[in-house]
Amino acid sequence: MSGTLYLIPTPLGGDTLSDILPADVIAIAQELTHFIVEAPKTARAHLKLFGTPHELRSLWMQELNEHSKDSELANLLEPLLAGHDVGLMSEAGCPGVADPGANLVRLAHRQGIRVQPLVGPSSILLALMGSGANGQKFRFNGYLPTSDTERIAAIRALETSSHKEKQAELFIETPYRNKALFEALLATARPGTLLTVACNLSLPDQYLQSHRISDWQRQPAPDLHKKPTVFVLFA
């Protein structure tokens, strides 16, 4: 029989598991000796935090990131087909959500391998939960364009879609470009549109505020520099 592919969530930052991951998720991570990870250095730090009893250097660990080719995925499943349980870990948050692990999960299903997602934090869902936007209908759009012209066009398109479909539009940015995106949102979106800024979610310095564009324009801008942030637009 093949092993189980466990989708193991990781903390969104910080160095504590308190109130972040259930005990049974940590226990499963402690048992595993085979892992597919987005970044080995981060994964080893998380496993050390989990309290794995195994020597970190002895673990079978292979990378799966945005540079991985689809032709390489089959090799990653070989331990599973040989009967080993394998943990799939993202850099932060939930594997397969805004994460390159989705292609591997799809292939695992095709190969008849059991897939077991485990409970843990997702910055996307946490931002949506805390936004006050429509949690019944929403869309995650990933990264917006970086050029000014294309970014403005994307913001207007998302705002139009949100108004027409009555849905929340979620997106992210590379942390060092958060300020530019925030300023573009305030300059482009309509005054009555709701904008949520969710930064460093689940961490001690979490910032989560939801205001109309006109209200954001009247107050000091939050410090988002180099901080993982999810933006929610709801027209």
- Helices of type H across 101-234: 102-110, 123-129, 148-165, 178-188, 213-216
Strand stretches in the chain, DSSP E: 4-8, 34-37, 60-63, 86-89, 114-117, 138-143, 168-172, 194-199, 207-212, 229-234
Q: What is the pLDDT of residues 24-41, one digit of tens each?
A: 999 999 999 999 999 999
CB atoms within 10 A of CB 82: 10
Is a pLDDT exceeding 80 seen at residue 18? Answer: no
Q: What is the pLDDT of residues 121-179, one digit of tens each?
A: 999 999 999 999 999 999 999 999 999 999 999 999 999 999 999 999 999 999 999 99
Domains of the chain with bracketed CATH: 4-117 (3.40.1010.10), 123-234 (3.30.950.10)
CB 194 within 8 A of CB 132: yes
Structure token pair of residue 126: 């946490």
Q: What pTM value is reported for the model? A: 0.90
Structure token pair of residue 105: 């999960």
